[in-house]
Amino acid sequence: MKYNLKRSGGMKETHSVRTNPANGKYLLITIFACLIIFYDRENYETCFHFNLQSSNPAATVVFAEKNSVIHGRSRKIHYKFPDGQQMAEEYSMDTGVLQKRAWRKSQQLLGESEWEVEVGEDYRQLGCAGDSEQMLNADNNFTVKISNTEPILSKRITKKNIEWRIRNLPYPITVYQVVADCTKRAIVVKTTNKKYYKVIKVEELDRCELLPSQANLSIHHQYNTLIITYRKPDLVCEMEAQVLLLLKDIETEMGKLLEGLLQK
CATH of the domain at 183: 2.60.40.790
The reply to whether 187 falls in a domain is yes
What is the sign, positive or negative, of the torsion defined by CA atoms of 207, 212, 215, 221?
positive
Q: What are phi and psi of 250, to 5 degrees?
A: -80, 130
How far apart CA 72 and CA 92 sit, in angstroms, is 10
The enclosing H or E element of 247 equals: helix 234-247
| 234 occurs within a structural domain | yes
- Residue 150 to residue 180: CA distance in whole angstroms: 24
Q: For residue 174, is it within any domain?
A: yes
Domain for residue 5, yes or no? Answer: no
- The pLDDT, as a whole number, for residue 120 is 86
Instruction: Evaluate whether residue 13 is within a structural domain.
Output: no
* Residue 145 placed within a domain: no
Question: Can you give the pLDDT at residue 60?
Answer: 67
Compute mean pLDDT per 10 residues along the chain, 264 residues long, and list them.
Answer: 45 43 49 44 36 48 80 86 84 89 76 81 56 47 62 94 97 97 97 97 92 98 97 93 80 53 44
pLDDT in the model for residue 145: 55
Q: Determine, yes or no, domain membership for 1.
A: no
pTM value surpassing 0.85: no
pLDDT of residue 174: 96
User: Which residues form the domain of 191?
Assistant: 154-247
Residue 218 lies in a domain: yes
Domain count, the chain: 1
What pLDDT, on a 0 to 100 scale, did the predictor assign at position 167?
95
Q: What pLDDT score was predicted for residue 203?
A: 92
